[in-house]
């Protein structure tokens, strides 16, 4: 099970930037490494991407935020809104063209669902690290927590 930890402070993304589903919007979050990390209690910047996964009332469940650093060897993944544009070798490994947007790593072609960061192809040992949307106000989406592993292994 994924464990989450509060960021140093919540990151706010304007709701106006997340009106349309499947338009990724980058952000930077700030955390502090945990006491159990090799480099404890150090500030860490987490580059992330957030996407709205469904139209309708803004609700925390309608947004998905992930860390863009690939869990394989650390390259930054790219957002691919149209899975029809994926490289042929990636589609071959998946067995079919995915029905929704994905993230893909340019280094060794690991691919992940944009909906939840789950791994769908490639050598990455797991899905993308996730951040948690903790609140949605009339003006902004608040990203308040990050997977603990990001604050241990960064
Ligand atoms: S670094 Fe992303 S697949 Fe290797």
Q: Is the CB of 70 under 6 A from ligand 1?
A: yes
Give one word for 74, left, alpha or beta, with left for phi > 0 and alpha for psi -120 to 50. Answer: left
- Among all chains, which residue has been given the structure tokens 């209690």? 41
- Global pTM reads 0.94
Give SS3 for 153: helix
Question: Which residue's CA is the nearest one to ligand 1's atom 1?
Answer: 73
Task: Provide φ and ψ at 21, rounded to 5°.
Answer: -60, 150
Candidate of 80, 89, 103, 107 to mutate for ligand 1, largest count of ligand atoms within 8 Å of Cβ: 107
For 128-152, what is each residue's pLDDT tens digit? 999 999 999 999 999 999 999 999 9
For 58-85, what is each residue's pLDDT tens digit? 899 999 999 999 999 999 999 999 999 8
CB burial readout 33-48, b (16+ within 10 A) else e: bbeebeeeeeebebeb
């Amino acid at each position: 099970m994924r464990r989450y930890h509060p960021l140093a402070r919540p990151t706010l993304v304007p709701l106006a930037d997340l009106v349309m589903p499947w338009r990724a919007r980058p952000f930077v979050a700030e955390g502090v490494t945990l006491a159990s990390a090799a480099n404890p209690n150090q500030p860490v910047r987490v580059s992330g991407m957030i996407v709205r996964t469904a139209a309708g009332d803004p609700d925390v469940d309608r947004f998905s935020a992930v860390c863009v650093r690939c869990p394989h060897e650390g390259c930054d993944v790219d957002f691919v809104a149209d899975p029809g544009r994926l490289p042929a070798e990636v589609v071959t490994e998946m067995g079919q063209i995915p029905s929704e947007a994905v993230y893909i790593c340019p280094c060794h072609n690991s691919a992940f669902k944009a909906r939840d960061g789950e791994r769908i192809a490639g050598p990455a040992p797991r899905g993308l690290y996730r951040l948690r949307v903790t609140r949605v106000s009339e003006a902004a989406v608040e990203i308040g927590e990050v997977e603990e592993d990001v604050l241990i292994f960064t």
